[in-house]
Amino acid sequence: MANIVAIVGRPNVGKSTLYNRLTESRKAIVDDFSGVTRDRHYGEAEWIGKRFTVIDTGGFVHGSDDIFEAAIREQVHIAIEEASVILFMVDVTTGITDLDDDIANILRRSKKPVYVVANKVDHAKLHHASAEFYAFGLGEIFNISSATGSGTGELLDEVVSHFEVLEEEESTLPKITIAGRPNVGKSSLTNALLGKDRNIVTPIAGTTRDAIRIHYNQFGNEFLLIDTAGLRRKTKVTENIEFYSVMRTIKAIEDSDVVVLMIDANDGLEAQDINIFHLAEKNKKGVVILVNKWDMVEKDHKTAKEFEARIREKIAPFNDVPILFTSVTEKQRIFKAVETIMDVYKNKTKKIPTSKLNEVMLDIIENYPPPATKGKYIKVKYITQIPGRSPMFAFFCNLPQYIKDPYKRFVENKLRENFDFSGVPIQVFFRQK
């Protein structure tokens, strides 16, 4: 399970600044969400060798104070359920407010580790001012300045003490995650694959609800199915449903080899689907897109091709992804989907012999060499696949610093053409020989 740190608190206490500091120089796991999720950030951080996901719960609904405060309280509840550690941020320059008290009351009932982070302690005189926050009854106060970074080291030492460095699992079975927006048919697909007409997903006891793992072993295919469907809080705050869904999806996708992104044929590929796709891509997971409820769409001989073209346009530049049109209720192409998923897993774990790689790619590069830069010619001498969880290739040459992105994309496309990496992100590195 992924380690997740949620930063909670009322507006303008510095949550986003702390988030930016913790995830500094690291790529966000998920691009800024637009629309209902109001630019919420999910990022990756590391401290003393332990990696974790940071969630900035800031930036919420605009509207009346009542709606605004209800949304923040709801967000705190979700953070308690889903996060490994909670950072409760307060502002030392304004002291305790009614909203701070409300959040503290919720956090006191939590069994999760909670740290009170007094922000904006920018000079020594303010250290004593933070003592009033002991009134929350939540333990030690950590004085920091998220703007300068002062005090964050001591805080992170405590935070990561709750994380285990997870050992690799003994199981070598492929791990497949079914992801997507609510009501696209995730539970139905799971039930159809297992041949059971019941919802096999039940809440796990305790405050953390993890994705359910199901062992699939039928028709010559065996894998672990990680089901993210069905475990969603019922709430009137629509944004938080999405927030909750994404937190669970982050954990499930990090723990998978191949992500099956299910979309509704009636809706097409929406913003939330694209976010899930990029989450899988950035984590270097295999991807299969299933367009479900295809039986409900009026179509002619061109409909599927046009629908597929629109999807590939939206997910570019990584659009070498299998797209299948299914109807789970009619059991149309669901076993074709299983075959495709296993093909993508094989592509992800594929190892190309070095001799074959050099034989094919050096010939292509000789015919289409990198453009000369400043009168200097780039000579690629040797290619090898780097060991890893996803396909990575090192091209050794004399002047790697002059290789531009367009040529890297050209090389990636040639690798795909010749070795079939459909559904899998691949990485190309040019290195000094």
**Cα 427 from Cα 409, distance rounded (Å):** 10
Q: What's the distance, CA 115 to chain centroid?
A: 25
Q: Is residue 273 a contact partner of residue 356, using CB atoms and an 8 Å limit?
A: no
Nearest CA among 192, 193, 93, 191 for reference residue 201: 191
pLDDT score at 248: 64
pLDDT score at 143: 94
The pLDDT tens digits of the residues spanning 200-253 come to 332 322 222 345 567 788 888 888 887 665 333 334 334 454 555 556 667 778
Query: Which position has the higher pLDDT, 414 or 225?
Result: 414
Element (H, E) at 143: strand 141-143
Three-state SS at 101:
helix
Nearest CA among 199, 380, 256, 409 for reference residue 319: 409
The pLDDT tens digits of the residues spanning 60-110 come to 333 445 555 666 666 667 767 778 899 999 999 999 988 889 889 988 988
pLDDT score at 430: 94
pLDDT score at 386: 93
Give the whole-number percent of the chain exceeding pLDDT 70. 79
Q: Is 266 exposed, middle or buried (0-12, 13-18, 19+ CB in 10 A)?
A: exposed
Mean of pLDDT over the chain: 80
Q: What are the residues facing 6 on neighbouring strands?
A: 55, 86
Q: Rg of the Cα trace of the chain? A: 24
